Chain A
Amino acid sequence: MTKVTMTVNGKAQTRDVPDTTLLSDFLREELRLTGTHVGCDTSQCGACVVHVDGRAVKACTALAVALDGAEVTTIEGVAQGKELHPMQVAFNDHHGLQCGFCTPGMIMTGIDMVERYKASGLPLTEEAIRHELEGNICRCTGYHNIVRAIEDAAQKMQAAPAAAAE
């Protein structure tokens, strides 16, 4: 067992956990933040994507004990109180989700991608969005409306100050 402290969604959290504890298990089982989903066991599906120190990370590939002192944002920490993040709104506006299981990972990936392209000044084209989504599998939507949602959110986030949600 190792003591680990992280800031999760703005709140310091300390737990004693086995060294083998994955970040996804730490979030789901220790903190009961069950919005981070586990859809595979090979880090392919991306349902578990969270932000660690401002970067998108598959929570099933990270060990909790290696993240002592890290800042973690999960899907539960993206909205500002009752006001949803533009990416969350866009997924609703464009029907970018059906069963909802991959959605938290899609939204976290979407936010990360928009912020990175914004910072780099590169255009976030449909081709770029589809390429960036390679690590996130959705079985319901066929991606069409996920792409529309990210395009729309990107426009709205362009107007907003960078990394407002982090």
Chain B
Amino acid sequence: MTDGIGARAKRKEDRRFTTGKGKYTDDIRVENQAYAAFVRCPVAHARINGIDASAALAMEGVIAVHTGPELKADGIGDLIAGWAITSKDGSPMKTGVWSPLVTEYGRYVGDAIAIVVAETQAQARAAAEAVEVDFEELPAVVVADKALEEGAAQVHENVPGNLIYTWELGDEARTDAAMANASHVTELDIVNNRLSPNAMEPRSAVAVYDEAEDHYTLYTTSQNPHVARLVLSAFYNVAPEHKLRVIAPDVGGGFGSKIYIYPEEIACLWASMKTGRSVKWTSERGEAFLTDAHGRDHVTKAKMGFDNEGRIVAFHVDTIANLGAYASLFATVTPTYLYGTLWSGQYDIPAIYGTVRAVHTNTVPVDAYRGAGRPEATYMIERMMEVAAREMRMDPAELRRRNFIREFPYQTQVILAYDSGDFDAILDKAQKAADVAGFPERRAEAEARGKLRGLGYSTFIEACGLAPSAAVGSLGAGVGLWESAEVRVNPVGTVEILTGAHSHGQGHETTFAQLVSDRFGVPIDNVQIVHGDTDKVQFGMGTYGSRSGPVGMSAVMKALDKVEAKAKKIAAHTLEASEDDLVIENGEVKVAGTDRKMGWHEVALAAYTAHNLPEGLEPGLKEGAFFDPVNFSFPSGALICEVEVDPETGVTEVVQFTAADDFGTIINPMIVEGQVHGGVTQGIGQALLERVVYDEDGQLVTGSYMDYCMPRADDVPSYVLDHHSTPSPNNPLGLKGCGEAGAIGAPPAVINAITDAIGTDDLQMPATPMAVWQALAWARSPVAAE
């Protein structure tokens, strides 16, 4: 039984997860293990005058307390931003220095000051409480737009005015001229709320130093272990790459937050060498809220001009992006090249211009979180479209259709060239699946029950699989964004795939095996996927940005091509046929049109016995490949949300949610649907429930699941899904990527539905009952009516 491309194959990895046998980092216990806890900055901004660890060191079980200056003296490097952005005046970006443990100033609540190593976790945590930090509290700034105000507290001395860069994209003069001639201009102030990614598995690290070999091993919760090793080696100077093995075992979700290499991993590795003990640290959830990179946090003024037939003539964007206290790994590219390049949405917009000012504040670093820049762009554009339709008294779907791009490839005004799509078809499918025609009836029925029912659209496009490497390099990227794969056919015909992509919920052990099954007719149970270990896998860039399919699987396909070519050479020699006449079907290599054939396992065995190979052919059947795409891939979709609002309480219920997506070729529909369910739920979470709140002094108010509202099962409905496929021409399988689409597309659909229900657009996310009730009360008040 084979499960090829398109099969709803059940996941091979599930057995260990459903029986409690998964192996996550915190499940690992090594020889000689001690535990770490961190002393953290208790205020948002402080000068550290001294650290007294004497009381802590005297406590039972405490092995060591180490501080920032010690790491610095040992040559441990500062954390880096992986993408250099140039300001519009041509000057390079200015970012503050981020030391793994602070050396002089603490710049957010949770900034790591010292590492405590003890025999047990409880002892380490108790001792961390006993380390006395002599600090002087300094003024702090928390909110993005306030960071730019005259007289705002300065987060870093070398970043005047807290301004990291002022980036621009598009043609300002043309956009201004077109805007001036527009017959209608829609203006909107938009806040994209700050979120905490909240993978359910907290971050964890186990650092093992082997003195005899001068070698380090790090088990860690990473989406990209090779990138972690590269950065830990080349920039943080922990150990050269050949002396450092990074293993990311089962990882319990990432959503971006586990891309980055955090201070804790650096400190644990260094402390392991210093103490001669293996050092384990596992974050508590409260610590995760304080220290895991947050997402989003934009404040935007947007303006869209239309002609008298509803065609967009100009789009103008002015955004301030809060990057927090330090510029994290992908932080600088997220609100620029992952955001501005999507300003055209699904629409043919002839003139676009925007600026993004990125700022430091005294909050935890903000970086890429599921969607990364693309949700912010989509939310802005799709709110604009809905508001514009209402202002111009047009049907919001019709306004979108009037502006849809219909010819591909399409060169936008903001760098990207869209590969393929059929926006009319996906909107048709969504409208049909959502029974838009029946909405007036449903609205009337809800009204009879005292509920306000609304319907909102979001027609989005996004860009996945950042590429090509040369292009991203020219835009400031510090790494290439290709992927690698190795296909090893064993002498018995079973297959191992080594991939640089990393699975932390995406189901690679099943879907990558489906590629092999499809090609050679091998059952997926005979295919093993190896990933997440720098000693086993050659190299790789990891999993984020929906890249495992379009980039990672493409590398596998290239390697499979090479294996197939060699297998055919061997079979042709044995069968005395021409390679061109061979076909591989159902686990057999056949001479087309004859009964001559070899079993797949016979070809594999022949490759390894090497008794009868074509002259000059090397034994073995193993090939590697690197794949660097020629362009991004561009998934798109049409989402339709229906809500009911209780006008008495402001409580919003999502009663129906429909998603019709174009992900190109689909390898496993079951898994793709699961990605959409999860993504949409995170989008609904952003729209209705989630917001990170710091108080004015920079203390985190939403530091637990009692304060930060995660979507629960009864906050969301069952989903209605459909899809329409236009394969991407940019990779061999025609894949577009599906991991982020839901989180990108859903928030505006929800807010458009609520604002439709309550009859006012004066509403920001999250649309909590209080926010909705207030918007409704204000809209209905006599003051607003004036």
Q: How many angstroms between the C-alpha atoms of A20 and B26 in the bound complex? A: 20
Contact with B along A121-153 (1 / 0, CB 8 A): 000001101110110111111111111000000
Interface contact A103-B718, CB-CB below 8 Å: no
B200 surroundings in chain A (CB, below 8 A): 37, 39, 45, 47, 99, 101-102, 137-140
Cα(A54)–Cα(B262), bound, Å: 42
Residues on B with C-beta less than 8 A from A102 are 200, 252
Assuming the contacts A98-B253, A137-B712, asked whether A88 and B505 have C-beta atoms less than 8 A apart, the reply is: no
B671 / chain A contacts, CB cutoff of 8 Å: 95
> Is the Cβ of A76 less than 8 Å from the Cβ of B712?
no
In this complex, the interface size class of chain A, counting residues with CB under 8 Å from chain B, is 35 or more
Query: CA A127 – CA B655 in complex, angstroms?
Result: 12
Is B705 touching A45 in the complex (CB atoms < 8 A)?
A: yes
Stretch from A28-36, A64-72, A158-166 forming part of the interface with B: A28-36
Least CB separation from A47: chain B residue: B200
Which of B16-24, B692-700, B767-775 lies at the binding interface? Answer: B16-24
In Å, the complex CA distance between A103 and B504 comes to 13
Q: Is A91 an interface residue (CB 8 A)?
A: yes
A99 to chain B, nearest CB (A): 3
Assess whether A40 is interfacial by the CB under 8 Å rule.
yes
Q: Is the CB of A34 within 8 A of B677?
A: no
Q: Is A120 an interface residue (CB 8 A)?
A: no
A41 touches B198 (CB 8 A): no
Instruction: Flag if B24 contacts A98 (CB, 8 Å).
Output: no
Cβ B674 vs Cβ A37 within 8 A: no
A93 at the interface (CB under 8 A from B): yes
The total of interchain contacts (Cβ-Cβ below 8 angstroms) comes to 179
Q: Are B719 and A142 in contact (CB under 8 A)?
A: yes
Query: Pick the contact of B19 from A35, A45, A136 — CB < 8 Å?
Result: A35
CB of A79 closer than 8 Å to a CB of B: yes
Q: Is B783 interfacial (CB-CB < 8 Å)? A: no
Answer whether residue B704 sits at the interface, using C-beta atoms and an 8 A cutoff: yes
A84–B285 touching, CB < 8 Å: no
Task: Give the residue of A39, A84, A88, A144 whose beta carbon is less than 8 angstroms from that of B719.
Answer: A144
CA distance A18 to B126 in the complex (A): 15
The answer to whether B506 has its CB under 8 Å from any CB of chain A is: yes
CB distance from B712 to the nearest CB of A (A): 5
B67 contacts A by Cβ under 8 Å:
no
Do A104 and B20 have beta carbons less than 8 Å apart?
yes
Which chain A residue lies CB-closest to B706? A42
Chain B residues near A103 (CB, 8 Å)?
17-18
Please provide the chain B residues from 168 to 204 with a CB less than 8 Å away from any CB of chain A in the complex: 198-202
Does A10 make an interface contact (CB < 8 A)? no
A133-B714, A146-B713 known; A75 and B19 CB under 8 Å? yes
Does B377 have its Cβ within 8 Å of any Cβ on chain A?
no
Measured between beta carbons, the chain A residues less than 8 angstroms from B286 are 41-42
A36–B24 CA distance with the chains assembled, in angstroms: 11
Distance in angstroms between the alpha carbons of A145 and B681 in the assembled complex: 12
Residues from chain B with a CB closer than 8 A to the CB of A36 are: 20
CB distance from A101 to the nearest CB of B (A): 3
Report whether B27 and A88 are in contact in the complex, using a CB–CB cutoff of 8 Å.
Answer: no
Residues B713 and A134 in contact, CB atoms below 8 Å apart: yes
Q: Which residue of B lies closest to A34 (CB)?
A: B27
Q: Contact between A100 and B17 (Cβ–Cβ < 8 Å)?
A: yes
A91/B14 in contact, CB under 8 A: yes
A33 to B201, CA, bound (A): 17
Chain B residues lying within 8 Å of A20, measured Cβ to Cβ, are 122
The CA-CA distance from A101 to B258 in the complex, in Å, is 15
- B384 interface residue per 8 A CB criterion: no
The answer to whether residues A40 and B704 also contact, given A34-B20, A84-B18 and a CB cut-off of 8 A, is yes
Specify which chain A residues have a CB less than 8 angstroms from the CB of B706 in the assembled complex. Answer: 42, 44
Nearest chain A CB to B121's CB is how many angstroms away?
A: 9
Q: What separation, in Å, do the CA atoms of A144 and B14 have in the docked complex? A: 17
The closest CB in chain B to the CB of A138 belongs to: B200
Taking the closest CB of chain A, its distance from the CB of B562, in whole angstroms, is: 32
- Closest Cβ of chain A to B282, distance in Å, is 8
Please name all residues of chain B whose beta carbon is closer than 8 Å to the beta carbon of A47 when the two chains form the complex: 200
Min CB–CB distance A107 → chain B (angstroms)? 6
> Do B24 and A144 have beta carbons less than 8 Å apart?
no
B16, B18, B714: most-surrounded residue (chain A CB, <10 A): B18
Known A37-B24, A134-B714, A144-B677: A97·B19 in contact at CB below 8 Å? no
Q: How far is the CB of B55 from chain A (nearest CB, A)?
A: 21
Are A141 and B678 touching (Cβ within 8 A)? yes
Decide yes or no whether B680 CB sits under 8 A from chain A: yes
With A99-B504, A100-B252, A144-B677 in contact, is A39–B20 under 8 Å at CB? no
- Name the residue on B nearest A105 (C-beta): B200
- CB neighbours of A38 from chain B (8 A): 26, 202
Of all chain A residues, the one with the shortest Cβ separation from B251 is A99
Bound: A62/B479 CA distance, A: 48
B284 interface residue (CB < 8 Å to A): yes
Closest to B685 in A: A139
**CB pair A98 B507 closer than 8 Å:** yes
- Contact B704 A35, beta carbon cutoff 8 Å: no
Q: A15 to nearest B CB, angstroms? A: 15
For residue A79, give the distance in angstroms from its CB to the closest CB of chain B: 6
Contact mask A4-39 → B, CB, 8 Å, 1/0? 000000000000001010000000100011111111
CB-based contact B681/A143 at 8 Å: yes
A18 contacts across to B, CB distance below 8 A: 122
Task: Determine whether A92 belongs to the interface, using a CB cutoff of 8 Å to chain B.
Answer: yes
Residues of A within 8 Å of B284, CB to CB, are: 41
A88 and B252 form a contact (CB under 8 A) = no
Judging by beta carbons under 8 Å apart, are A144 and B505 in contact? Answer: no
B209 contacts partner chain A, Cβ-Cβ < 8 Å: no
Interface string of B235-253 (1 = CB under 8 A from A): 0000000000000001111
In the assembled complex, B498 has its CB within 8 A of some CB on chain A:
no
| Chain A residue contacts of B59, Cβ below 8 A | none
Given the complex, which residues of B lie within 8 Å of A45, measured CB to CB?
A: 200, 285, 705
Q: Are A41 and B11 in contact (CB under 8 A)?
A: no
B15 neighbours in A (Cβ, 8 Å): 84, 92
> Which chain B residues border A127 with CB–CB below 8 Å?
714
What sequence of 0s and 1s flags, for each residue 662-694 of chain B, a beta carbon within 8 Å of any chain A beta carbon? 000000001101100111111000000000000
**B703's closest neighbor in chain A, by CB?**
A42
Q: Within the assembled complex, what's the spacing in Å between the Cα atoms of A131 and B704?
A: 21
Closest to B286 in A: A41
Q: Which residue of B lies closest to A145 (CB)?
A: B674
Docked-complex contact A142 and B20, CB < 8 angstroms: no
Give, as a whole number of angstroms, the nearest-CB distance from B150 to chain A: 41
CA A117 – CA B491 in complex, angstroms? 53
Give the chain B neighbours of A28 by CB distance below 8 A: 27
B residues 22-56 touching A (CB-CB < 8 Å): 22-24, 26-27, 29
Q: Please provide the chain B residues from 132 to 187 with a CB less than 8 Å away from any CB of chain A in the complex.
A: none
Which residue of B has the minimal Cβ distance to A135?
A: B712
On chain A, the residues within 8 Å of B285 by CB distance are 39-42, 45
Contact A44-B705, Cβ < 8 Å, known A35-B20, A76-B20, A101-B201: yes
Q: Does B710 contact A (CB under 8 A)?
A: yes
B90 to chain A, nearest CB (A): 42
Bound-state Cα–Cα, A107 to B68, Å: 44
Distance between Cα atoms of A104 and B200 in the complex (Å): 12
B677 touches A141 (CB 8 A): yes
Q: Is the CB of A130 within 8 A of B714?
A: yes
In contact, B19 and A88 (Cβ under 8 angstroms): yes
Q: Closest CB-CB distance, B768 to chain A, in whole Å?
A: 18
Contacting pair B713 A130 (CB below 8 A): yes
Smallest Cβ-Cβ distance to B714: which chain A residue? A130
B705–A42 touching, CB < 8 Å = yes
Q: Is the CB of A139 within 8 A of B255?
A: yes
Residues of B within 8 A of A145 (CB): 673-674, 677
Alpha-carbon gap, A33 to B19, bound state (A): 11
A95-B671, A100-B252 given; name 4 further pairs at CB < 8 Å.
A99-B251, A101-B199, A142-B681, A145-B677
A→B interface (CB under 8 Å): 18, 20, 28, 32-42, 44-45, 47, 74-76, 78-79, 84, 88, 91-93, 95, 97-104, 107, 126-127, 129-131, 133-134, 136-147
**CB-based closest 8 A-B pairs:** A35-B20, A101-B252, A100-B17, A142-B681, A99-B505, A75-B20, A142-B677, A44-B705
